[in-house]
Amino acid sequence: MTVMLEAADATRRPSRVRSEPPAWLVVALACAGQFLVVLDVSVVNVALPSIRADLGMGESGLQWVVNAYSIAFAGFMLLGGRAGDLYGRKRMFLVGLGLFTVASLAGGLAQQGGELLIARAVQGLGAAVLAPATLTIVTSAVPEGPARARAIATWTAVGAGGGAAGGFFGGLLVDTLSWRWVLLINVPVGALVLLGSLLWLTESRNGAGRRLDLPGALLVTGGLAVLAYGISQTEAEGWTAAATLVPLAVGLALVAGFLVVESRTTAPLMPLGLLRVRAVASANAAMFLSGFAMFSMWFFMTLYAQNVLGYSPLAAGASLMPSSLAIVVGSKLAPRLMRPLGARWVAVLGAAVAVAGFAWQSTMTADGRFVTAIMCPGILMMLGAGLATTPLASLATSGAAPGEAGLVSGLVNTSRTMGGSLGLAVLSTLAAARTGGAGSPEALTEGYALAFRVGTGVLLAGLVLMLVWLPRRISAT
C-alpha cells in the first residue's frame, strides 16, 4: 500500500507539465469505482445458497456475508469522506480501491466461513474510503453548471445500475463459473481502474485545520456490529441468556460512547447539533426505518426464489431485474413529482407504495408463481424505495447550512445503511426462529413471510413518522 501511495505522489508531480486529462475520462474512472462499491452490496445475495453449501455456513452466518460488508461500509463512510478532505481524494480513492480489490481476492479464495466474513468486512472498509472520493472527484473535474449536473446524474445512474445489475451478473457468474467469481471478478476490474487512476487522476484536498475522528468511527462501527451479533444470538439462545444480553449491553455501551465522543470532539463525524434541525433529524429517522425494512428485501427474495421455488442462481437474479429497474424508475420519477407535490408528500407516497409491496410479499406461498410472488410485489417495494429516498435526502440537506450539505448527505446514506444492517439482523433472526430449523419449502416460506410482515409494520411506522414529523414547508426544486 505504501508503494501505491508513493506512486500516487509520483504521478502528481509531472501533472504540472502535461495537459489535464479529459473530464469524461476522470468521470468514467470515478463512476467505475462507484459501480464496484454498489455492485458488491447486492451481487452476493444470489450466491448465498451456493456459499452455504460450499462453506457449510448456517442461516445466521449467511446474514453476516451481507452485514460484514454493510456495517463496515456504514460505520466508516463519514470517516472516509473526512480522510479524502485531509489527505487527498485521489490518494483515498487509490487506498480504498486497493483495499477493496485485495479483499475481493481474499474473499474469492476463502476456504472457511470466517475467512470470507473477514474479507467482506475489509471490502466494506475499502468501499467506505472509496465511495466518498468518487463523487468529489466527479464534481472537481467538471465545472459548475449543466455539465456538472450531467456528470452527477451519470454518477447516480451508474450507482443505481450497479445495484440493479448485481443480482443478474451474480447469478450469471454463479451458474457459469462458481460463487467465488462474484468476488474474484472485482480483481481484474479493480486493477484496471487502479492503473488508470494512477495515470490520469489529479490530486485535490480541502481539509486545513481538521482531523480524523477515528475513535468515533471505531465506536459506532463496533457498536453496530456487536448489537447485530447480539440480536442474531436470540434465535439460538433466547433473549434472557447471557450470550445474548452481554453483546447487546456492550453494543449499547459502545453506541453511547460514540455519542459522548461526538459531543466533545472538535471535529466530530456526526455533529449532534445537526440533529436539532427538524428536517435533518426527521429525514434521517425516516431513512433509518426505510433502510431497516428495504435493505433485507434482496436477501429474502433471493433465498425464497432459490430455496423454495427452486430457481437456479441465474434465474433468481433475472427474476429480480424488474424490481431492480423499478428503483431506478422511482428515483428518476421522484424529482418530477417533487415540484408539484413537495418533497414531504412524495416521500409519503413512496412509503405507501412500498408498504403495499411488502404486504403483498408477506402473502407468499411455497408454490408461488413468478408474476404474483416475485415480480409485482418486488416492483412495488422498489418503486416505493426509489420514490422515497430522493425527497428524504432533499429534505435533510435543505435543513442544513450550505457548508454542511455534503456532511448531511453522508449522514443520510449512513442512516439508511445502518438501519439496513440492524434490520437484516432482526428480520433474519425472526425468520430463522419461525422456521425452527426445518428446511422444507413450507417452513422456509413461513419464516420469509414473517420477515416481510414485520417489514410492513416498520414501514408503516416510518410512514406515520413522515406524516407527523417531516417539515411541511420545505419543498425541493
Phi, psi of 438 (to 5 degrees): -75, 145
Q: Residue 262 above 80 pLDDT?
A: yes
Contact between residue 80 and residue 128 where contact means Cβ atoms under 8 Å apart = yes
Type of residue at 63: Q
pLDDT score for 14: 46
pLDDT score for 5: 45
pLDDT score for 40: 83
Tell me what the mean pLDDT of segment 416-432 comes to: 89
What CATH class has 277-477? mainly alpha
Report the share of the chain in percent with pLDDT over 90.
Answer: 40
**CA 466: distance to chain centroid?**
22
Q: Residue 241 above 80 pLDDT?
A: yes
pLDDT score for 438: 79
What CATH class has 1-211? mainly alpha
Torsion of CA 403, 404, 405, 407, to 10 degrees: 130
For residue 2, what pLDDT band results from cuts at 50, 70 and 90?
Answer: very low
**Least confident range of 77-81, 162-166, 276-280, 334-338:** 162-166
For residue 11, what pLDDT band results from cuts at 50, 70 and 90?
Answer: very low
- pTM score over 0.85: no
pLDDT score for 152: 66
pLDDT score for 208: 54
pLDDT score for 156: 66
Q: Residue 247 above 90 pLDDT?
A: yes
Q: Residue 409 above 50 pLDDT?
A: yes
Q: Residue 18 above 70 pLDDT?
A: no
Contact between residue 135 and residue 155 where contact means Cβ atoms under 8 Å apart = yes
C-beta atoms surrounding 34 within 10 Å: 25
Look over the chain and give the mean of its residue pLDDT values, rounded to a whole number: 85
Tell me what the mean pLDDT of segment 398-404 comes to: 66
pLDDT score for 366: 96
Q: Residue 15 above 50 pLDDT?
A: no
**Least confident range of 23-27, 119-123, 344-348:** 23-27
For residue 464, what pLDDT band results from cuts at 50, 70 and 90?
Answer: very high
**Least confident range of 113-122, 150-159, 233-242, 358-367:** 150-159
Q: Residue 9 above 70 pLDDT?
A: no
Which grid cell is 17?
A: 507539465
pLDDT score for 117: 94
Contact between residue 477 and residue 339 where contact means Cβ atoms under 8 Å apart = yes
Per residue in 327-358, pLDDT tens? 878 887 888 898 899 889 999 999 999 999 99
Contact between residue 268 and residue 213 where contact means Cβ atoms under 8 Å apart = yes
- CA dist., res. 253 & res. 264, Å (int): 17
Type of residue at 285: A
Q: Residue 474 above 80 pLDDT?
A: no
Per residue in 69-90, pLDDT tens? 988 888 888 788 778 777 888 8
Reduce the secondary structure of the chain to three states and give it as a string: CHHHHHHHHHHHCHHHCCCCCCHHHHHHHHHHHHHHHHHHHHCCHHHHHHHHHHHCCCHHHHHHHHHHHHHHHHHHHHHHHHHHHHHCHHHHHHHHHHHHHHHHHHHHCCCCHHHHHHHHHHHHHHHHHHHHHHHHHHHHHCCCCHHHHHHHHHHHHHHHHHHHHHHHHHHHHHHHCCCCHHHHCHHHHHHHHHHHHHHHCCCCCCCCCCCCCHHHHHHHHHHHHHHHHHHHHHHHHCCCCHHHHHHHHHHHHHHHHHHHHHHHCCCCCCCHHHHHCHHHHHHHHHHHHHHHHHCCHHHHHHHHHHHHCCCCHHHHHHHCHHHHHHHHHHHHHHHHHHHHHCHHHHHHHHHHHHHHHHHHHCCCCCCCCHHHHHHHHHHHHHHHHHHHHHHHHHHHHHCCCHHHHHHHHHHHHHHHHHHHHHHHHHHHHHHHHHHCCCCCHHHHHHHHHHHHHHHHHHHHHHHHHHHHHCCCCCCCC
- CA dist., res. 363 & res. 57, Å (int): 28
